[in-house]
Structure 1
Amino acid sequence: MRTRWNFTGLLALALLALQEPTEASMRMRGESLPGLANAEKRRSSESVPQGRVAGGTTSTEGNWPWIVTLQNIYSYHLCGGIIIDPNWVGTAASCVAGLRSSRLLVVTGTSDWWDLYAPYYTVDQIHVHCNFDKPLYHNDIALLHLATPIEFNDVTTNITLADIDDLQEGEKLTFAGWGSTEAMGTYGRYLQESSGTYLPNADCQEKLQNYDDVDLGHVCVQMDEGKGACHGDTGGPLIDEQQRLVGIGNWGVPCGRGYPDVYARISFYHDWIRTTMNGCTIG
């Protein structure tokens, strides 16, 4: 452990308010993946951020002890992540694909990603799902192996994974992140959270007017209009009322426009997670 003081832009976000959801407009990472888009960004290039999860509320310190902020070597937020055990962190593949492990930091134990004194850990291995984006928008999950184990305490611990698919229509699900409040907005400084309800895949496909990019490997969450995930929330945790990890932030129609947000379904990828952590590889 050391102590110290990254859904990303689309080409035509200005037109989104006038558009119906399309394949191009749904993907929050746009042409560039979230990690790559901000890999060289520095804090000094921006003022202190004030934005937050669209329609969210500020989380109480310690309420999300398993959440991490993935940052570049300049300590700039790239995406969210989740502590699975002391040596492993889960996130979206779109957050880390194309990046070197040496260019990533995992920051724990804080709800303020600008915290100068939050513990941070370096990454020595990146495991991106072998079928990431095959087809497009699918298998968006990755695991990070840390160079040193995370030290657990009152505000830092691992999460329980949902290993079976037992979600029920209308069930309350909650996510958290440091994302912006609007398309192309600045990232929030303080962790925000918001809740919605589980939407079965068939209903999700119909609402998004898309039948190719939501499958059994996805979880859809219906938010009220004005609430939802936004840029900077990719890779963050979706939890159920038992505080289990049921999803990892993937994509959606930014931001808070009343369409479902889409997450990687943890129960679907549970075997991949466990075999990868145990040194095996499966598709």
Structure 2
Amino acid sequence: MRTWWKFPGQLLLILLLVVASSEAMRMRGEPMPGLANVNRHRNGQEATNSQPQGRITGGNTASEGSWPWIASIQNVYSYHLCGGSIIDKRWILTAASCVTALRARNLLVVTGTNDWWSLSASYYLVDQIHVHCNFDKPLYHNDIALLHLAEDIVYDEVTQNITLADIDELDVGETLTFAGWGSTEAMGTYDRYLKESSGTYVSVEECSNLLGNTDEVDLGHVCVQMPVGKGACHGDTGGPLIDSQQRLVGLGNWGVPCGLGHPDVYARTAFYHDWIRTTMNGCTIA
């Protein structure tokens, strides 16, 4: 575990570099969020936004420590790429589209904060990336990955692992909640402070119909219907979707940008339970 204040030279370099707004939830037909932002640097907008807003379009600001298992996956310039979930002291679960074609040495994982800009947050180096072997085969399917960290995450009151939902017990109409640092509008800049919002679980069949009878949704997905004006957006890919028992039921995969009333689509953790466990144990499955 390290903190940015121990590296004033790197921090100064980051603060001096200014770039355009982000382009990365993975949005239908758009670039993969990891590759799209791997060379991004922090800009001045997040730094000047020093206080969290009580409410933004599409969600509420999450209180500090209310999502102790959430992680910000960042590039080497400490720029947020995607969300992730702590499932073990050495393992982060995220979307494959966030990390495919990237090198482990180009990623950082930040924990224990709802402010991805935080200079005192704990960050961890990644030493292995495990992407599902059938990622995007077919398109938007098997969008799941595991990151192995170089050292143990230090648990405390604001940093904990989350329990995986290993049995699919979701009911149509059930309330599910997600959180992320994504933008509040299509092609907007990422939000500095963690936001959360809730929607209702939609069956795979109904979700496919609502998305135009697409085959890009199957039993490996969880769909969440949000009111118009709310929903996942760029930068929310890989973030956690939880049920009322605070179990991880999904992770952000893809959607139609942004908050237009279409269901958002998540990878169903219960469907991938065997892949997750065998990967963590150093095994492989067909």
Q: Return the TM-score normalized by structure 1.
A: 0.90
From 26, 45, 48, give the equivalent of 2:46. Answer: 48
Name 1:267's counterpart in structure 2.
Answer: 270
Query: 1:27 and 1:205 mapped to 2: Cα distance?
Result: 18
- Structure 1: which 5+ residue stretches go unaligned? 11-25
Counterpart in 1 of 2:165? 162
Residue type of the alignment partner of 1:4? W
Amino acid at match of 2:36: A
Partner residue, 1:143: 146
Q: Are residues 267 and 178 of structure 1, via their aligned partners in 2, closer, same or farther at CA, if it must alter by over 3 Å?
A: same
**Quick one: percent identity of the two aligned structures?**
72
Structure 2 CA distance for partners of 1:172 and 1:31, relative to 1, 3 Å: closer
Q: Secondary structure at the match of 1:48?
A: helix
Q: Which amino acid aligns with 1:207?
A: L
Q: 1:92 to 1:53 in 2, by over 3 A?
A: farther
Secondary structure at 2:233 match in 1: coil
Which residue among 252, 260, 264 is the counterpart of 1:257? 260
Is the counterpart of residue 174 in structure 1 residue 177 in structure 2? yes
1:95, 1:66 → 2: CA distance? 18
Q: Contact conserved, 1:54 with 1:180, CA < 8 A, in 2?
A: no
RMSD over equivalenced CA pairs, Å: 1.7
Question: Within 2, Cα distance between the matches of 1:85 and 1:225?
Answer: 35
Which residue, 199, 202, 210 being the options, matches 1:199?
Answer: 202
CA contact (8 A) 2:26 2:32 kept: no
Q: In 1, are the aligned partners of 2:23 and 2:37 still within 8 Å (CA)?
A: no
Structure 2 counterpart SS, 1:205: helix
* Residue of structure 2 in register with 1:102 after alignment: 105
**CA distance in structure 2 between the aligned counterparts of 1:216 and 1:79, rounded to whole angstroms:** 23
Inter-CA distance 53–145: structure 2 relative to 1 (3 Å threshold): farther
For the structure 1 residues 237 and 127, does the alpha-carbon distance in structure 2 shift closer, same or farther, using more than 3 Å as the test? same
Q: Which amino acid aligns with 1:186?
A: T
Residue identity in the other structure for 2:38: A
Unmatched 5+ residue regions in structure 2? 6-21
Residue 204 of structure 1 aligns with an amino acid whose one-letter code is C
**Which residue does 1:60 correspond to in 2?**
63
Instruction: Name the aligned partner's letter for residue 46 of structure 2.
Output: V
Q: 1:9: Cα distance to partner?
A: 3.7
Asked if the contact 1:53/1:193 (under 8 Å) is kept, the reply is no
Q: Which amino acid aligns with 1:152?
A: Y
Question: What residue number does 1:247 align with?
Answer: 250
Contact 1:56 1:227 in 2 (8 A): yes
Q: Structure 2 vs 1, CA of residues 194 and 79 (structure 1 numbering), >3 Å: closer, same or farther?
A: same
Counterpart of 2:121? 118
Asked whether the 8 Å contact 1:204–1:220 carries over to 2, the reply is: yes
Q: Distance in 2 between matches of 1:281 and 1:233?
A: 28
For the 8 Å contact 2:26–2:235, the answer to whether it is kept is no
- CA distance in 2 between partners of 1:210 and 1:66 (Å): 34
Q: CA deviation at 1:27?
A: 5.5
Counterpart AA for 1:99:
L
Aligned length: 265
Distance 1:177 1:53, change over 3 A: farther
Deviations 1:29-61 (A, max 9, x none): 644210111001011x44227699751000010
Letter in 1 for 2:130: H
* Contact 2:26-2:33 at 8 Å conserved across structures: no
